[in-house]
Amino acid sequence: MSRDTTTPPPRYFPERELPPYTYVSGYTPHPIRDPRGHLFGRPESPVLFDEERWQTSAEYLYGIDLFNHGFYWESHEEWEGIWRQLPNERPAHTFFKGLIKLSAAGVKVREGRPEGVRRHARRSRELFERMSKMLPGDSAYYLGLNMEGLAIVASHIASSPPECGSRPSESVEIVFPSPLVLHDYQ
């Protein structure tokens, strides 16, 4: 169920290059722990995320770029840096947990673990459904993404996981049918 990649998805933070490969356990060097890893030696810096200024958040936007281009492990890590800094009661905490779980489903596709894909996609769907209920009035969007749309995508992935582990040795593979597209992004 791979999407047509002849037209690449938009880049929201082109100032940062995409990595040379995505991490797939057992096939590529661990990005942080292995000296050959593309993030090895990079110091961690705390991420300060402001929901009102999401359109200028390098970490959020770069995470979307990573996800859209098949770097599921890396998008998970990028968003987790934001998520760790957020109080549990904030809607953004739930939102980023949903994105992290969706990324984890992509990792499990690459690893050839369909039950892991289903589990993470189901949890992602639950979190995006919860987000939909938190939104004010008739708003469908949070931080530029449609919550109901994301819940539907996650539900579809959970019920019909993409072909798992067909080419784990490839450096990057886009496995989900549609990219994350920001609404009202300038």
With bands split at pLDDT 50, 70 and 90, how would you rate the model's confidence at 166? low
From the CB of residue 98, how many other CB atoms can be counted at a distance below 10 Å?
Answer: 27
Q: How many CB atoms lie within 10 A of CB 153?
A: 20
Q: 92 with 145: CB under 8 angstroms?
A: no
pLDDT at residue number 8 = 83
Q: pLDDT digits over 57-78, tens only?
A: 999 999 999 999 999 999 999 9
Average pLDDT of 6-15?
Answer: 89
User: For 135-147, what is each residue's pLDDT tens digit?
Assistant: 888 889 999 999 9
| Mean pLDDT value across residues 106-132 | 96
φ/ψ of 36, rounded to 5, equals -85, -5
Q: Give 3's pLDDT tier (boundaries 50, 70, 90).
A: low
Q: What is the mean pLDDT of the chain?
A: 90
State what percent of residues in the chain have pLDDT above 70. Answer: 94
Architecture of domain 57-159: Orthogonal Bundle (1.10)
pLDDT at 41: 75
In one-letter notation, the amino acid at residue 66 is L
| Residues 161, 121: Cα–Cα separation, whole Å | 9
> Could you tell me the residue ranges of all domains in the chain?
57-159
Q: What is the pLDDT of residue 62?
A: 97
The predicted structure's pLDDT at residue 148: 95
What's the pLDDT score for residue 165?
A: 65
Higher pLDDT, 184 or 13: 13
pLDDT of residue 100: 99
What pLDDT band is residue 40 in, cutting at 50, 70 and 90? confident
Q: What is the pLDDT of residue 30?
A: 80
Give the Cα separation of 146 and 142 in Å (integer).
Answer: 7
Distance from chain centroid for Cα 146? 14
pLDDT at 149 over 80: yes
pLDDT band at 37 (very low <50, low <70, confident <90, very high): confident
